[in-house]
Amino acid sequence: MKCKLVLVLVIVFFLSCKQDKEAKIVETNSTENKAVLSANVEQFADIKILRYKIPGWDDLTLKEQKLVYYLTQAGLAGRDIIWDQNYKYNLKIRKALESIYVNYTGDKKTDNWKAFETYLKRIWFSNGIHHHYSNDKIKPNFSPEYLNKMLAETNTTLKGAAFDVIFNEKDAKKVNKAKGVDNVGLSAVNFYGSNVTNKDVETFYKKMKSPNANKPLSFGLNSQLVKENGVLKERVYKSGGLYGSAIDEIVKWLKLAKAVAENEEQAAALDLLISYYNTGNLKTWDDYNVAWTRATKGNIDYINSFIEVYNDPLGYRGSYESIVQIKDFDMSAKMGVLSKNAQWFEDHSPLMEAHKKKNVVGVTYKVVNVAGEAGDASPSTPIGVNLPNANWIRAAIGSKSVSLGNIISAYNNASSSGRLKEFVNDDEEYELEEKYGQLADKLHTALHEVIGHASGQLNPGVGETKETLKNYASTLEEGRADLVGLYYLYSPKLQELGLVDDWKALGKAAFDGYIRNGLMVQLIRLHLGSDVEEAHMRNRQWVSAWAYEKGKAENVIEKIKRDGKTYYNINDYKKLHALFGQLLRETQRIKSEGDFKAVEDLVEGYGVKVDQEIHAEVLERNKQFTSAPYSGFVNPVLVAEKNENGEITKIKVTQPETFPGQMLHYSKVYGFLPEEN
């Protein structure tokens, strides 16, 4: 991330044609690689928009830059898919609101217009009308009459249910994982047709058998399940199938990427991904994941397809996402030491012996710099990824774990210490966080991804977690991986490996931060009275609340009231470490045995309900801070320059000046799906 001398060319497009309204672009010569614009783009509602740079771009050859460019274009080609997956009317609503935004010539200084603009920005950020984190429908602060007025004045059409749902109480939650309800029926996510129920889904897939029971296929991953004339059928995402027009564009760019692949292994994996998109065959998907996992050489890697199942209340269907990555050579060399010692961590974990892997294979860990994101990974992005998700591939072949270095750096550089000072118990806790907090976060992400998700094994004959643990599978897995990280963050092994200079101080900072966030700070993201719904928020709460409750007898974590404010103070880090070990052992047992009753009791007992008195207090204490609780990013734009023969001669890295500009540009250039699919 070294900065070099800067030369900037600012190009502003002034176009009279409203339909051709473009973003203002600041083009930065990629060899200079120093931000001219602020890292902060803008803030609205509970959202802060940031920028990120692409360190290492100049170290790539033109061929490697082409590979990044083609993979980025492939990712963006599928952008509309996540919008339609998130909700059946999202594309129709987005296109209508964007038409108003571009074409409306009325008074834009009114409160109504400002409310409309904020609403549109919020749904851009969430890839739909439901909040990206809480899953609650985003409520507009303008009236139906005002929207109708603007629709008429811009000659834009939005009628019927697509109009009404903006203002009514229907489809109130994108993903509903509540206990004892028909989760499919009460979830607005567009993975299932109308009248499909939990029972329908479970019955449909129970009848499906994989050709090899030891290599179960990911049934339901790439399809929509609908009921036609009372009969259940899948609409498969593939060329010629559901989302076929966008998938064909993805394939076009993947073929170009294959032609400039860094090596044969990478090309072979891309070929299988192309085949999977063309056929929708789940056996090909597994073959691709095996090839992709083994393709560890080269400077460029990527994630592309229907992958994570968090948005499915029953955990079957994958959301479309894409992340294109450039290896961070320096940090990967430092952090790769974890993957080399993966077996040591497995052998010394507190898991039952039967649940430990005897041979942890193929775990690769890299710190990477993101070059582009799309789908469910943008604008809100993860900071670490571990794939593939299939347990049998992880056990037999291994997995790839990456930490998104430039994303983490951008988050850290945009953060403020004010909120930290408000919620820490004392000066010692604050000083530990200031000195070790960022490193503790990086190490926790690394341990979570490379050791956590790769650890443990299912008992013989136990089905996949989506079948056994159902709607609790995602939060259990995330909590289990978090616990692996927490257990080893307070360990002299990290210092022995040269990763820290004071393992005990770092471990204390990590424990302080986790408990503080899990029991208090993350509540700023919820409306008062709401339950915790999102899988990661749930896991942070049930891990923290369980440890607090189980340590009460020995006052391991003390709840302190001072000047009308609540604080949590860890009195015994060694005992808390032991508690984390106990909970890790139990969560692995639950996963290994497929114990639904135990996971239900754990999550419902500790991870869903919120202490309303503390929640109200946290929200009140947080009012003094103007920084939004959620952050996301605009993406750098890669611009290919060509010669008279149409050959790419140079690829420049540019930065969008505004968030709306990038969103409108994406809709114009990458809008490959019709409004209804």
Whether pLDDT at 26 is above 50: no
| 3-state per-residue secondary structure call for 313-378 | CCCCCCCEEEEEEEECHHHHHHHCHHHHCHHHHHHCCCCCHHHCCCCCCCEEEEEEEEEEEEECCC
Whether pLDDT at 331 is above 60: yes
Q: Which helix (H) or strand (E) holds 90?
A: helix 90-103
How much is the pTM?
0.80
Quote the CA–CA distance of 470 and 458 in Å, as a whole number: 15
Q: Which helix (H) or strand (E) holds 206?
A: helix 198-206
pLDDT on residue 332: 75
Residue 162 one-letter amino acid: A
Q: Which helix (H) or strand (E) holds 49?
A: strand 47-50
Check whether the bond before 144 is cis (ω within 30° of 0).
Answer: no
Half-sphere exposure of 365 (CA within 13 A, CB side): 28
Quote the CA–CA distance of 113 and 115 in Å, as a whole number: 5
Q: Which helix (H) or strand (E) holds 420?
A: helix 418-423
Mean pLDDT of 202-227: 96
Highest-pLDDT range among 26-30, 392-396, 448-452, 656-660: 656-660
Mean pLDDT of 582-601: 97
Residue of 522, 521, 485, 520 whose CA lies nearest to 506? 485
Whether pLDDT at 11 is above 60: no
| Per-residue pLDDT reduced to its tens digit, 598-645 | 999 999 999 999 999 999 999 999 999 888 889 999 999 999 999 999
pLDDT on residue 416: 64
Which band of pLDDT confidence, cut at 50, 70 and 90, is reported for residue 3? very low
Over its C-alpha atoms, the chain yields an Rg (Å, rounded) of 24
Report which of residues 558 and 526 the model is more confident about. 558
Whether pLDDT at 43 is above 80: yes
Mean pLDDT of 367-375: 95
Whether pLDDT at 37 is above 80: no
| Per-residue pLDDT reduced to its tens digit, 466-513 | 889 999 999 999 999 999 999 999 999 999 999 999 999 999 999 999
Mean pLDDT of 163-175: 97
Give the alpha-carbon dihedral of 83, 85, 89, 90, to 10 degrees. Answer: -10
Whether pLDDT at 24 is above 80: no
pLDDT on residue 362: 61
| Per-residue pLDDT reduced to its tens digit, 82-106 | 999 999 999 999 999 999 999 999 9
Whether pLDDT at 413 is above 80: no
Lowest average pLDDT, out of 52-56, 249-253, 406-410, goes to 406-410
Mean pLDDT of 409-437: 88
In contact, 579 and 551? CB cutoff 8 Å: yes
Which band of pLDDT confidence, cut at 50, 70 and 90, is reported for residue 335? confident
pLDDT on residue 629: 85
Whether pLDDT at 19 is above 50: no
Half-sphere exposure of 597 (CA within 13 A, CB side): 0
Which band of pLDDT confidence, cut at 50, 70 and 90, is reported for residue 13? very low
Quote the CA–CA distance of 454 and 476 in Å, as a whole number: 14
- The helix/strand count (H/E) of the chain reads as 26, 16
β-pairing verdict for 40-44 and 47-50: antiparallel
Report which of residues 627 and 594 the model is more confident about. 594
Whether pLDDT at 20 is above 80: no
Mean pLDDT of 343-365: 90
pLDDT on residue 417: 65
